[in-house]
Amino acid sequence: MVSQNPGFMAGIPELMILRLLQDREMYGYELVQAIRATTREAISLGEGVIYPLLHALEKDGALKSRRAPAAGRTRVYYTLTSKGVRRLFDLTDDWGRLNGAVAAVLKGGAHAV
Amino acid sequence: MRSEAGRFEGLHETLLRAGIAPRRVKRYLAELDDHLAELTAREGAAGYDPAEAATRARALLGSEDELAQSWLSNPRLKSLTARAPWLVFGVLPPFALIAGFIIPLLVLMAWGFLMGFLPVHAHGPSTVPAWFRALVHAISLALNFLVGPLLLAWLARIVWRQRLSPVWLLLATGLFLLFFIRLDIVIGSPGLPMRVSVFSNLAALFTGKWHLAMDDDPAWQFLAQLFLTLLPALWLQRRFAGARVDREFT
């Protein structure tokens, strides 16, 4: 499972969060469940550890948040900013290049075998 | 009903001591609380009884160590006070102290000029109304008792909320005692000039004019200002002592 290898996971949670928030605003629990469902549980972020990443992205200006009451509790919704959209495009490019490079190596490796 | 800080008390303390800003910690705990409620509802919907659903949800959320570690591994999330306490408690306070005296005075002077009360000439007829003279004098004296102590009280609150070392407040208090600014403005009656006297320990160290400090002002004013300047440090010492006792008995 990808989530069990921290080396492979570097930068991936950030990319997924930005991509999911591009479609609509979401809160922490929703994001964790969306990542799990979209990746068919191949990637599973720790339930409580997504928040430091969300706070860091907000601090960098990639996200903005708003609070809303929900069943007597405080719920914090996150949305993408224009800076976050640029960051998403950059990360998507990086991921595409990396993915292509790894695919090329794997394909070459298969031929060699 | 327990508050978020009560439910995650250990995590709350760990994050504050690690230098995460209190407002950020508060928001995080509120988010965790909401997340935990959602998980509990999900586990309940999956058929577990309420007690078991709550236990499973708490386990799914992660241990307090795991939750804390996710913050501690990112130094960008630390507050400025935690990253550079020397700046907040050692560099900025003297500037804030001076600004705290200058800004209200500039506002008063601008008001005086706009109303045509100022400037006041040494031998000319004074147009300054008695109420404005009294106001300027009262504000200049009040600043002595308020600016330094209020700034130190604010710094003491930061030290307490962020669980910093009290040494940082002592540093700021020491700087304030070194500066120890005393201001007195008297706008004269008709025919008398405006007198502005500013005393600072720091200036007296260089000029040797210590007598200026005691020329007109009664000793109680010095003592009161000194006491108010030390009061935030005394308050903080009592808070930390109280917290130590609480920890020993729990």
Q: Which residue has the higher pLDDT, A16 or A109?
A: A16
Look at residue A113 and tell me if it is in a domain.
no
Residue A2 clears pLDDT 60, i.e. is over it: no
Alpha-carbon distance A44 to nearest alpha carbon in chain B (angstroms): 12
Q: Which residues are CB-contacts of A46 (< 8 A; sequence separation ≥ 6)? A: B62, B66, B70
Alpha-carbon distance B150 to nearest alpha carbon in chain A (angstroms): 30
Q: What is the CATH number of the domain that holds A73?
A: 1.10.10.10
Query: What angle do helix axes A28-38 and A12-23 make, rounded to 10 degrees?
Result: 100
Check if the beta carbon of residue B178 is closer than 8 Å to that of residue B164: no
Q: What pLDDT does residue A3 have?
A: 46
Look at residue A111 and tell me if it is in a domain.
no
Average predicted confidence (pLDDT) for chain A: 85
DSSP B86-129: HIIIIIHHHHHHHHHHHHHHHHHHHHHHHHT-----SSSPP---
Alpha-carbon distance A30 to nearest alpha carbon in chain B (angstroms): 9
Q: What pLDDT does residue A110 have?
A: 58
Query: What does the alpha-carbon distance between residue A40 and residue B105 come to, in Å, rounded to a whole number?
Result: 66
Q: Which residues are CB-contacts of A38 (< 8 A; sequence separation ≥ 6)? A: A16, A20
> Contacts from B51-57 at CB under 8 Å and sequence distance 24+?
none
Low-confidence ranges of chain B (pLDDT < 70): 1-6, 119-126, 188-196, 201-217, 245-250
List beta partners, residue A66: A77
Instruction: Show the tokens assigned to A31.
Output: 């994001």
Check if the beta carbon of residue B149 is closer than 8 Å to that of residue B231: yes
DSSP single-letter state for residue B188: P
What is the percent of chain A with per-residue pLDDT over 70, rounded to a whole number?
87
User: In sequence order, which ranges of B2-161 are alpha helices (DSSP H)?
Assistant: 4-7, 9-17, 22-45, 50-61, 64-72, 80-83, 85-86, 92-115, 130-161
3-state class percentages of chain A: helix first, strand second, coil last, to nearest 5: 65, 15, 20
Look at residue A110 and tell me if it is in a domain.
no
Residues of chain A contacting residue B71, judged by C-beta atoms under 8 Å apart: 52
Look at residue A112 and tell me if it is in a domain.
no
CB contacts under 8 A, A 13-52 vs B, are 27-29, 32, 46-49, 51-52
Look at residue A68 and tell me if it is in a domain.
yes
B184's enclosing H/E stretch is strand B182-186
The C-alpha angle with vertex A82 and arms to A63 and A24, in degrees rounded to 5, equals: 60
Query: What angle do helix axes A50-59 and B22-45 make, rounded to 10 degrees?
Result: 140
Owning domain of residue A70:
2-105
Look at residue A17 and tell me if it is in a domain.
yes
Query: What does the alpha-carbon distance between residue A47 and residue A30 come to, in Å, rounded to a whole number?
Result: 10
Residue A8 clears pLDDT 60, i.e. is over it: no
Q: What pLDDT does residue A6 have?
A: 52
Burial class (CB in 10 A: 0-12, 13-18, 19+), B225: buried
Residue A16 clears pLDDT 50, i.e. is over it: yes
CB pair distance less than 8 Å for B34 and A56: no
* Option in B27, B32, B37 nearest A48 (CB): B32
HSE, CB side, 13 Å, CA atoms: give it for residue A68: 8
Measured in whole angstroms, how far is the alpha carbon of residue B121 from the centre of its chain? 40
How many domains does chain A contain in total? 1
Low-confidence winner among A6-20, A27-41, B187-201 (lowest mean pLDDT): B187-201
> Contacts from B101-107 at CB under 8 Å and sequence distance 24+?
B101/B143, B101/B147, B101/B181, B101/B183, B104/B139, B104/B143, B105/B139, B105/B140, B105/B143, B105/B183, B105/B185
Nearest Cα residue to B97 out of B139, B146, B142: B146
Instruction: Show the tokens assigned to A17.
Output: 């969060």
Dump pLDDT digits (tens) for B201-223.
666 666 666 555 555 667 788 88
Look at residue A89 and tell me if it is in a domain.
yes
A20-25 average pLDDT score? 94
Dump pLDDT digits (tens) for A45-88.
777 778 999 999 999 999 999 999 888 888 999 999 999 999 99
Query: What does the alpha-carbon distance between residue A6 and residue B9 come to, in Å, rounded to a whole number?
Result: 29
* Option in B30, B38, B76 nearest A74 (CB): B30
